[in-house]
A = this chain, B = another copy of it.
Amino acid sequence: MSRTRVHNLSISLDGFATGEPQSAEAPFGHAGERLHEWMFATRFWDAATGAAGVDDALAQQHGVGIGAEIMGANKFGPPGWQDDPDWKGWWGPNPPFHTPTFVLTHRPRPPLEMEGGTTFHFLDASPAEALETARAAADRLDVRIGGGATVVRDFVAAGLVDHLHLVVVPIVLGRGVSVWTGLEGLEDRYDVEAVSTPSGVTHLTFTRKR
């Protein structure tokens, strides 16, 4: 059975997955890369110098059994990328997705075939419609909701997410995009596991109740 999954979405203690303002120079605003330092230290991020262990094991789940990704327009590029016909994402010629990748935008453009198996498709669609399209492309594998936080929230609120992995980093950002907005009572629909690790982060795994 194909599931819909979220992995490695890092948030501050106060729930922000990104700071503000977001720009080409500062994709995460005033948060910088502080939400992701735990991940940079793993083998998942850097096979040569990263560490194994529980942070790494959970991070590695990101790619296991995934056949397609859906991401929001704000993950694909800085504000205004839709006005740049040459924008091909942040990731260079070989993006780290290696599957069909669906970018939600109100201004779709033709698909972009990249190296390494990633093809970007641009969709103006509701979460349910986008998921149906991505699932058809995923060849019976799972679909990852790649973020940002508003897209994850929308898919969770629509009841479309089976597995949600958040990583709480011990900083207080004060402002930004909160992953929690609109998700009151989330625990009624999911089993929740909390595991703190020696790096100082706490992994929250939400598994949809049967």
Name A's B-contacting residues (CB within 8 A): 13-15, 168, 170-175, 178, 180, 182-187, 192-196, 200-202, 204
Contacts and interface: CB of A to CB of B under 8 A. Distances in A.
Contacts of A172: 180, 183-187
Nearest to A187: B171
A185 B180 contact: no
Contact of A200 (B175, B185, B194): B194
Contacts of A194: 168, 170, 196, 200-202
A201 B194 CA distance: 7
The complex is assembled from copies of this chain, and their number is: 2
Contacts of A13: 15, 180, 186, 204
Contacts of A178: 14
B170 A174 contact: no
B195 A184 contact: no
6 contacts: A13-B204, A14-B180, A172-B184, A194-B201, A196-B196, A202-B202
A186 B169 CA distance: 12
A143 B202 CA distance: 30
Contact of A170 (B170, B184, B204): B204
Contacts of A202: 168, 194, 196, 202
A18 to B, nearest CB: 14
Contact of A174 (B174, B175, B184): B184
A184 B175 contact: yes
A183 B174 contact: yes
Contacts of A14: 15, 178, 180, 183
A200 B196 CA distance: 11
Given A14-B15, A175-B184, A194-B201, 16 more contacts: A13-B15, A14-B180, A168-B194, A170-B204, A171-B185, A171-B187, A172-B180, A172-B183, A172-B184, A172-B185, A174-B180, A174-B185, A192-B200, A193-B200, A195-B196, A196-B202
